[in-house]
């Protein structure tokens, strides 16, 4: 007599990241606060990274900036915008199922 057993595999399918709210370009006066915000969904929860003009940025490289990713609500805050913050910013969300990006421009103007 042989034993019989069934094996059931229960694997959740992943969902690639998708921005349900994309970043919006902004203009700020030098010294004012500026902020990019977006909402990204996906399963498993995507890892979020930022670039400025194609160069990776983080809290380590830009300690004056605030990076946040709470429950898919992503943001990059410039508490005191400076002229050198002007540029094209890209937020990339990546998980095992794919990659999504959202980009926006920040223009910081001199105060008159």
Look up the CATH number of the domain holding residue 102.
2.60.40.10
**Residue ranges making up the domain that contains 96:** 18-109
- Is pLDDT at 45 greater than 70 in this prediction? yes
Q: How far apart are CA 102 and CA 23, in angstroms?
A: 6
Q: Is residue 7 part of a domain?
A: no
Total count of domains within the chain: 1
pTM for the predicted model, two decimal places = 0.86
- Is pLDDT at 52 greater than 70 in this prediction? yes
Task: Characterize the bridge pairing of strands 55-57 and 15-21.
Answer: unpaired
Q: Is residue 4 part of a domain?
A: no
Q: Is residue 6 part of a domain?
A: no
Q: Which of 12-16, 28-32, 85-89 has the lowest mean pLDDT?
A: 12-16
- Is pLDDT at 69 greater than 70 in this prediction? yes
Comparing 99 with 13, which gets the higher pLDDT? 99
* Averaged pLDDT for residues 6-18: 70
Quick one: what percent of the chain has pLDDT higher than 70? 89
């Amino acid at each position: 007599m042989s034993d019989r057993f069934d094996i059931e595999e229960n694997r959740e399918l992943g969902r690639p990241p998708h921005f349900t709210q994309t970043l919006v370009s902004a203009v700020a006066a030098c010294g004012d606060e500026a902020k990019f915000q977006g909402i990204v969904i996906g399963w498993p929860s995507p890892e979020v990274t930022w670039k400025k003009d194609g160069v990776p940025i983080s809290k380590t490289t830009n300690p004056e900036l605030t990076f946040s990713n709470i429950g898919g609500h992503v943001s990059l805050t410039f508490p005191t915008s400076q002229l050198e913050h002007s540029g094209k910013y890209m937020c990339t969300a990546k998980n095992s199922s794919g990659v999504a990006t959202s980009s926006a421009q920040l223009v910081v103007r001199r105060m008159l």
